[in-house]
Amino acid sequence: MGKTTLARGFVQWLAATEGLGEGCFWFSFGEIRGAEFVFNRFGEALFGGQFSAAALDERIELLTRALKEHAFLIVWDNFEVVQGIPGTPIEPTMAESERRLLLSFLQKLRGGRSNVLITSRSDEEWLGIERLRISLDGLQGEERWEYCERILGDLGISIDREDANLVRLMDLLGGHPLAMRVVLPKLEKLTASNVVGALTSNLQALNLSGRDEAEAKLYATLRYAEQALPVSERPLLTPLAMHEGYVDADYLEAMGRQVDAEGARARIDSFLQGLATAGLLRDRGQAIYEMHPMLTSYLRATWLPLVPSELRDSWARAFVQVMGRLADQLAPLQLHKQRAGFHWHGANFYYAIRSGQPHPVVRQYSVST
């Protein structure tokens, strides 16, 4: 966990040390459904707005020539969604033909001056020798304890590194920054032994023995954050699970009015802020929150299956209707004016389509992309 944050920090460091070359292209694949979108964004930046009018083969040739001759850093973030991860809620967002285009593009960049950095929860074996795999583990040794002290120091809590229960808790969290940020503040009111017991219980309750051990531990951490929410706010996890990438409090409120008359805005704000405090959401302003990718995966795997079907369907209908109204507003606009809406809600539109609730305007909007 923390791959996106690490990549951002790496880009900032390169920029500060004059090692970024001629610039950086950053693509978040959670909101991309086709290879041509990637090519067109490259081309518009390098060659201007008329680039997308050229034939596909011509566009690819122009791009590869420019990227091989000039030194750029290209970041493909959250790339696991392109092919999906079997056995998880992460489904492929691109057809095989689109994936072949991306792979061919990478092959053409071989030997050039630009570098491609891909962040993914998957090994991406389908890329073959076109990728050098760098596995990232959690924080280790002194850096793990320094991060622990930074988190707890803000709360005025001093730690004893010789405390056997605290050492066990640190080992259980595996040095994952997200897990540490979610769980360690609980030491303000609970003992390390209490927190260890809760996390151990969650691992057993979640029955995640078939998952990677580190992922199982992180799921337990997310479960712990879920249980820390007030009981009155937990039902909002159902519509949150239908979001991906970003959630807008205004739209969540509109959905709530269709399902739950008690869904007051104050409760929604408290709910979202609580998850932001836990490090699972990031406030981007104007009531929009960026979701950590693991949060959506976790909720769809563990929360949604437990929601009564009638209630889940009610939220799904409200979700599709609200997304459909937004699509109604965006569809007549020129493409450059649609882009902001796509950035925030592109993945949500596609989930609305997959939810099985027919809505012709959403289908029209998806075609226009």
Q: Is the dihedral of CA 134, 294, 7, 36 positive or negative?
A: positive
Q: Contact, 294 vs 1, CB < 8 A? A: yes
Are residues 59 and 11 in contact, defined by beta-carbon separation less than 8 angstroms?
no
Give me the mean pLDDT over the 131-144 stretch.
86
Within a 10 A sphere around the Cβ of 249, how many other Cβ atoms? 18
Q: Is the dihedral of CA 269, 273, 276, 278 positive or negative?
A: negative
DSSP H or E stretch at residue 290:
strand 288-291
Q: CATH number for 3-130: choose from 1.10.3720.10, 3.40.50.300, 3.40.50.970, 3.40.50.150.
A: 3.40.50.300
Cβ neighbours for 160, distance < 8 A, ≥ 6 positions apart: 166
**How many residues does this entry show for the chain?**
369
Q: Kindly provide the b/e burial profile for residues 177-200, where b requires at least 16 CB atoms within 10 angstroms of the residue's own CB.
A: bbbbbbbbbbbeeeebeebbebbe
β pairing state of 281-285 and 115-118 = unpaired
E strand segments, 107-188: 115-118
Residue 119 reports pLDDT greater than 60 = yes
If you ran DSSP here, which 8-state letter would residue 4 be given? H
Q: How far is CA 338 from the centre of its chain?
A: 21
Ramachandran angles phi, psi of 117, nearest 5°:
-110, 120
What is the enclosing helix (H) or strand (E) of 16?
helix 3-16
- The reported pLDDT for the residue numbered 364 is 38
Q: Which residue has the tokens 């509109």?
A: 254
Vertex 23 angle, CA 123 and 37, to 5°: 60
pLDDT tens per residue across span 271-302: 999 898 777 888 889 999 998 877 888 898 88
From residue 258, how far is each of 164, 167, 315, 327 by CA, in Å?
50, 48, 8, 18
2 Ramachandran zone, left/alpha/beta (phi>0; psi -120 to 50): left
pLDDT digit string (tens) for 151-167? Answer: 999 889 998 999 999 99
Question: What is the rounded average pLDDT of the residues 118-132?
Answer: 87
- Say if residues 11 and 20 touch (Cβ distance below 8 Å): yes
Under a CB-based contact definition with an 8 Å cutoff, are residues 95 and 55 in contact? no
Residue 44 or 213, more confident: 44
CB 233 within 8 A of CB 269: no
pLDDT classification of 363: cutoffs 50, 70, 90:
very low
> Which has more confidence, 301 or 262?
301
Query: Which whole-number Å values give the CA distances from 346 to 135, 136, 339, 368, in the listed order?
Result: 29, 29, 9, 12
- 10 Å CB burial of residue 125 (0-12, 13-18, 19+) is exposed
Q: Residue 10 in contact with residue 74, Cβ under 8 Å?
A: no
In the chain, % of residues over pLDDT 70: 91
Q: Measured over all CA atoms, what is the biggest interatomic distance in the chain, rounded to whole angstroms? A: 65
The rounded mean pLDDT for the chain is 86
CA distance 139 to 134: 15
Helices (H), 48-140: 56-69, 80-83, 96-109
pLDDT for the residue numbered 249: 95
Residue in the block written with tokens 């000039």: 70
